[in-house]
Amino acid sequence: MKAELKRVLIQVRGVVQGVGFRPSMFRLATGLGLCGRVWNDSSGVYIDVEGPPGNVDALVAGIPSNAPPLSVIDQIRVEERPPEGFKTFEITASEQSGGAGTLISPDVATCDDCLDELSDRANRRFRYPFINCTNCGPRYTIIAGLPYDRPATTMSRFRMCPACEAEYRDPLDRRFHAQPNACWSCGPRCELLDNQGQFVPGEDPIARAAALLAGGRIVAVKGLGGFHLAVDARNEEAVRLLRQRKRRDETPFALMAAGIETIRRQTCLTDDEAVILRTPQRPIVLLEKAPGGDLAPGIAPGNRYLGMMLPYTPLHHLLFQESGLDCLVMTSGNFSEEPIITDNRTAVEILSGIADYFLLHNRDILVRNDDSICLAYRDRVFLQRRSRGFAPAPVRMARSYPRVLAVGAELKNTFALGRGEYVFLSQHIGDMENYEVFSSFEQTIRHLEALLEIRPELLAHDLHPEYLTTKYALSRRAELPVFGVQHHHAHIASCLVDNQFYDEAIGLALDGTGYGTDGRIWGGEVLTATLTDFARRYHFENVLMPGGERAIKEPWRMAVSYLHQAYGAAFTDLPLPFVRNLAGQNLDLLLKMIDRRLNSPETSSLGRLFDGLAALSGLRQKVSFEGQAAMEFQMCLDESAAGSYELAFGDGRIVVADLIRAVVGDLLAGQTPGAVSARFHRGLVSVFLKICEQLRDERGLGAVALSGGVFQNRWLLDHLHRALEDKGFRVLTHHLVPANDGGIALGQLAVAAERYLNGWEE
């Protein structure tokens, strides 16, 4: 009698391509003695399998536990089919299909198995700088289209040698269908150029580049998502030269260390931070400098933190092995404010004024992708820049959304594309201040729309009429409905989604700049909000920003404005060092601007208040990057100074003038900036706590979302978080989406989609 057969067609969706999913299903099926086939299409992986019913059921049940480590399963659908009489189990070629649904894997740091082979003399890939397998290597940065197969990647021009081909075809090999698979005889190669673009002859370009680094030279190194500029982090002169040539006044440089031990010596590394440093995403982690650190002081001047990461490509590992160095500056290869460079020709053209040499290779970077930056907050990642390793992994939504493109904000731009239950956040695009960044924005939108097969049905943008992103969205208005979303509402919505919280919450949206519904610049906002709508409950008292944008670059202007608001013109009689030092500035002109309200927009920004207090305390009068003064004001905080400023609130406003008078009183009494900072920080915690308690009493809201760039301030984040928890609030803080404007797009998208689904008009 013929044994009973069962046949099922299984569809698996999620991150299931480029991660070794089909081979693991092959092993599972053949291990159970089943026949059939497995293949990719653009919506996921299909398994068509038949055999004894018990074994077929065991396969279905065993999919999650047998899935490869890098995969993320979102959905498994099983359909029974009439038996077909398969004789074997095979992995068959990919099929194109309509309904897109496959998720693209982010790039993954070199795995331990590949590292072992890299340093194994007997291995045919000994010291091969592009070693990879299904568990590691480039993904998003080399994928041109789906399904994810070699012809759809920048590896298509490298024809595999017989040895690589055999691995690629062997379902039991770690490199089965590893699309970037390559070796010394068939794959990409490195070469070294000087800064005239001349080829530097020699057997071993990596060893040569390593020696140049050890000798204090600046080498541009082609990486996974773009070029880095590398120098020895212990060589003060080299670091100084790099800073000078890159025209980066004081922005901290990122570091790459050979191993965790180096990081432990240079920083006060915690166990949580060590775990995050070693994750396959390999982000830059902001770590507190250790007292005994001995790296060049020019790396992060005036900063208590170092941004450090571990090597994430084979080439990085080889550079450390060959050079004997244990720490390199690895700052992105560009001039300040321009996008990171990805192609060889542009690199040599643009960076020849900075780099002495170029370590290039011939595997093209299709997608620009900067290093991600995070800190460890309460044992989890707190992303400040979401890029390599994280993009384009999606955020899962609570309900199915239409196809939306949210264009994000102006600074630290990212955009978001949503479809169904997924929202895909782009990699970091940058500050939309010049043509290069804007064209990278447009290009990345086109690429991701095509790759994910998302043709937007509606657009979301910031309300600021001057943002290039707003203008871009409005330029597509003829095709699509367009929703403007208020900046701080978007911040809070992004925090709610980041926490999978879909009720109404109190939102503290604290940042530098965001366009308000009244046309003023907001930034110190207490909202009550849902994903659909919000109300502004409290905000910091408005103050003028004399000179507009210039007041951001020159915090002393803000200090003058706050003093003028608190004391009127008589503030010039205050015997403060700050006032005395104004003699060199063009004070009369500034006061005229204030009096006549010329080019002096009103703002409720907490970021500007931080800036103003930093200037008033004598810490910093001008900044070379946004938030620098605020950051230094936080870092000088002297925990041992007792006391707190009382911030009054009422009638929708948090009063600032009284605070300024209290600060001036302290400074006149000889208090240090550190004491002023401590009292101000404590004052903020206490006023926000009181306001939240009042809103809870009035409206029954028990959750508070903390968002906006000000929450990069760890002291405020941590102390406010604890104070709110002590009073029984549920506190929502950011995690996989930045609190700064890099997270805005997700919030815009959620708000626009909810409004659209609820029938709102544009």
Binding site for Fe ion (CB under 5 A): 511, 514, 741
For residue 325, which amino acid is it?
L
Cα-only R_g, the chain: 28
- Would you give the distance in Å from CA 423 to the centre of its chain? 15
> Among Zn ion, Fe ion, none, what does residue 164 contact (CB within 5–8 Å per kind)?
Zn ion
CA neighbours within 13 Å on the CB side: how many for 305? 21
Query: In terms of DSSP bridges, do strands 373-377 and 327-332 run parallel, antiparallel, or are they unpaired?
Result: unpaired
Q: How far is the CB of 498 from Zn ion (least distance, A)?
A: 30
Per residue, what are the HEC states of 293-319? CCCCHHHCCCCCEEEEECCCCHHHHHH
> Among Zn ion, Fe ion, none, what does residue 133 contact (CB within 5–8 Å per kind)?
Zn ion
- Residue (75 or 119) nearer to Zn ion, CB: 119
Question: In this structure, are residues 529 and 493 in contact, taking their beta carbons and an 8 Å threshold?
Answer: yes
Whether the bond between 64 and the residue before it is cis, its omega within 30 degrees of 0, is no
Neighbours of 173 (CB within 10 A): 17
Residue position matching structure tokens 């939309």: 432
Q: Which stretch binds Zn ion (CB under 5 A): 49-57, 183-191, 568-576, 604-612?
A: 183-191
> Among Zn ion, Fe ion, none, what does residue 111 contact (CB within 5–8 Å per kind)?
Zn ion
Closest residue to Fe ion, based on beta-carbon distance = 511
Site string for Zn ion, 95-114 (x = CB under 5 A): ----------------x--x
> Among Fe ion, Zn ion, none, what does residue 186 contact (CB within 5–8 Å per kind)?
Zn ion
Q: How far is the CB of 736 from Fe ion (least distance, A)?
A: 18
Q: Which of 5, 78, 100, 186 binds Zn ion (CB under 5 A)?
A: 186
Q: Which of 161, 474, 591, 723 binds Zn ion (CB under 5 A)?
A: 161
> Environment class of residue 240 by beta-carbon count within 10 Å: exposed (0-12), middle (13-18) or buried (19+)?
middle
- Residue (283 or 514) nearer to Fe ion, CB: 514
Q: Which of 105, 135, 440, 470 binds Zn ion (CB under 5 A)?
A: 135
Q: Which stretch binds Zn ion (CB under 5 A): 154-162, 439-447, 453-461, 475-483?
A: 154-162
Question: How far lies 533's CA from each of 281, 462, 497, 507, 527, in Å?
Answer: 35, 15, 14, 12, 10
Question: How far lies 376's CA from each of 99, 269, 621, 718, in Å?
Answer: 38, 10, 31, 12
> Among Zn ion, Fe ion, none, what does residue 741 contact (CB within 5–8 Å per kind)?
Fe ion
Q: How far is the CB of 184 from Zn ion (least distance, A)?
A: 7
Number of residues that bind Zn ion (CB under 5 A): 9
- Residue (164 or 684) nearer to Zn ion, CB: 164
Neighbours of 184 (CB within 10 A): 15
- Residue (252 or 514) nearer to Fe ion, CB: 514
Q: Which stretch binds Zn ion (CB under 5 A): 186-194, 553-561, 649-657, 710-718?
A: 186-194
The C-alpha atoms of residue 604 and residue 655 are separated, in whole angstroms, by 11
Question: End-to-end CA distance of the chain, in Å?
Answer: 68
Question: In this structure, are residues 633 and 619 in contact, taking their beta carbons and an 8 Å threshold?
Answer: yes
Q: Which stretch binds Zn ion (CB under 5 A): 184-192, 245-253, 319-327, 569-577?
A: 184-192
Q: Which of 25, 67, 164, 752 binds Zn ion (CB under 5 A)?
A: 164
Q: Which of 28, 103, 104, 183 binds Zn ion (CB under 5 A)?
A: 183
Phi, psi of 255 (to 5 degrees): -125, 150
> Among Fe ion, Zn ion, none, what does residue 161 contact (CB within 5–8 Å per kind)?
Zn ion
- Residue (280 or 618) nearer to Zn ion, CB: 280
> Among Fe ion, Zn ion, none, what does residue 410 contact (CB within 5–8 Å per kind)?
none
Q: How far is the CB of 163 from Zn ion (least distance, A)?
A: 6
Q: Which two tokens stand for residue 565?
A: 């608001």
> Among Fe ion, Zn ion, none, what does residue 277 contact (CB within 5–8 Å per kind)?
none
- Residue (160 or 582) nearer to Zn ion, CB: 160
- Applying CB under 5 A, does 136 fall inside the site for Zn ion? yes
> Among Fe ion, Zn ion, none, what does residue 511 contact (CB within 5–8 Å per kind)?
Fe ion
- Residue (511 or 554) nearer to Fe ion, CB: 511
Neighbours of 390 (CB within 10 A): 23
The C-alpha atoms of residue 29 and residue 574 are separated, in whole angstroms, by 82
- Residue (135 or 740) nearer to Fe ion, CB: 740
The C-alpha atoms of residue 89 and residue 35 are separated, in whole angstroms, by 4
User: Where along the sequence are the contacts to Zn ion (CB under 5 A)?
Assistant: 111, 114, 133, 135-136, 161, 164, 183, 186
